[in-house]
Amino acid sequence: MGRNFKSNFIKTLLILLLTLNLTFSNPILNETTLISEHVKDAIDQAIFSKSNLTNISWDPNPVGNKPPALHLPNNLTVIIEDNSHIFEEKHQHSVHVVSFKFEYVKAELVLCTFIILIGLFKLIYHEMPFIKDWLPESCCLIALGCAIGGFIRFVAGNESAQAVRFLEFDSKVFFFFLLPPIILEAAYDLNDKAFVNNLGTIILYAVVGTVLNIFIIGGGLILCGWLGFFGTFGIHALDTLIFASLIAAVDPVAVLAIFKEVGVNKVLYFMVFGESLLNDAVTVVCYNLIGEFKNLETIRLYDCFLGFVAFLCVSFGGLIIGLFMGIFSSFITKFTRHVRVVEPVICFGMAYLAYIVSELFHFSGIIGIIACGLFQTHYTMLNLTGKGYISINYIIKFLSSVSESLIFIILGVMLLNENSFFFDDWHPLFAIMALVFCFIARFVGNIFFFESVKIGKL
């Protein structure tokens, strides 16, 4: 009776140990494994063998801080230790009914949330005329981004701030994914004879005028620094020109909106619109060119000549590639009358290919996609059906609006979500003088070129 009771007790204890997922140790083999079928067989052999069951002993407090152990015959030992980590690890690989995987969908979730916020903002903005009359949409988007960034930084905490840190896109994301839809949509909007008839004047303002702005702004700031107006604030001359190339371009969104409301002359509208589009390409070319000058140890006159040649090659190279892609897209769309669904694919694909191929050969991708877009809007669109034309215009307007809004709203978020605030490195006098020279450059350029154009027409 006692022997059966002891066997049943030990069996119950071992079943309990198996249930708790304990480990089995064999000192002869000097290894530790999880309880398995081999262990079960060994325990059964120890219990039901004719060996003396008094050899089974329980050691609740072993020497050396070892876990409790149950010693069995034939040098078999069951060690009782905490294996909750093993249970947790195995639990992670079990079937989940519901789970929370924020890290897996973090980027997509935040991006989708921002896109929905942009849509809601645009709806509210255009339904509230008193805001629309005083503030342009871009400024409101930056303010919205600042509000979101301030909430994340000061209310939500550091973890939420780190969750949106991936939004700090680099130059490649900007130039290859966000910028092309904006430029292509602007190129499609230039489908008017007023633009073609005044193309020479627009190029004069966009190319020569932008270069003149860069030198006036950069030269004025360099002169102020040389005269000691900025105090201990030191900036290299080429860095000043790089800064000038960034702010020389204009964004006439508010001006064009006013032009539409008051109904100005179509020639003036397309001159301002075309100049603002082309000077973006010129500023990018100048920015890259000055950056290459900065990498030189000494700048010689020969390097300046090569820079001028490079400027022409970059500009005309992108123009030629863009025109070729536009001609090719016009040719392909002649054979899509039975497969109209591919028309947007051809137009967008060839325009983006013009951008990529231009960048491949170190030409201006912006000029390439502008040239392709202008050719498509004047020739390729004639091969499309009415539905295809409407679809292309709505798709590109949607992509352009989302890209532009994302740029502004992320700019506002990152402005207050940085480790150090922007005013930590802000020099007020430098900013004020840069603004003053911007006004001077635009005034001088407009007056000079206005007189030149008027004399040329006379």
Interval 88-95 mean pLDDT: 52
pLDDT at 269: 80
Say which amino acid occupies 364: S
3-state SS class at 23: strand
Say which amino acid occupies 3: R
Tell me if 429 sits within 8 A of 229, measured CB to CB. yes
Phi then psi for 94, rounded to 5 degrees? -85, 175
Domain residue ranges of the chain, discontinuous segments joined by +? 2-92, 169-457
| 150-187 tens-digit pLDDT | 887 777 666 666 666 666 667 788 889 998 998 999 89
Burial class from Cβ neighbours inside 10 Å (0-12, 13-18, 19+) for residue 188 reads: buried
pLDDT at 361: 92
Q: Return the minimum-mean-pLDDT range out of 76-90, 134-148, 399-413.
A: 76-90
Tell me if 63 sits within 8 A of 5, measured CB to CB. no
| 214-243 tens-digit pLDDT | 999 999 999 998 888 887 777 888 999 999
Distance, CA of 334 to CA of 69 (rounded, Å):
85
- In the 8-state DSSP scheme, what is residue 426? -
Distance, CA of 281 to CA of 285 (rounded, Å):
6
| 429-455 tens-digit pLDDT | 888 999 999 989 888 877 776 655 554
First to last CA, the chain: 127
Q: Which two tokens stand for residue 144?
A: 């919205």
Sign of CA dihedral 195, 201, 203, 207: negative
pLDDT at 318: 93
Phi then psi for 32, rounded to 5 degrees? -125, 130
Say which amino acid occupies 90: K
Tokens 């000043």 belong to which residue? 240
Check pLDDT > 70 for residue 137: yes
Check pLDDT > 80 for residue 313: yes
pLDDT at 359: 92
| Per-residue b or e along 102-115, where b marks 16 or more CB atoms closer than 10 Å to that residue's CB | eeeeeeeeeeeebe
Say which amino acid occupies 338: H
Check pLDDT > 70 for residue 121: yes
pLDDT at 140: 87
pLDDT at 89: 46
> What is the residue-averaged pLDDT of the chain?
77
CA 256-359-190 angle, 5° bins: 25
Q: At what angle do helices 210-226 and 428-457 cross, to 10 degrees?
A: 140
pLDDT at 228: 83
Interval 300-319 mean pLDDT: 89
Distance, CA of 305 to CA of 423 (rounded, Å):
39
Check pLDDT > 70 for residue 276: yes
pLDDT band at 72; cut points 50, 70, 90: low
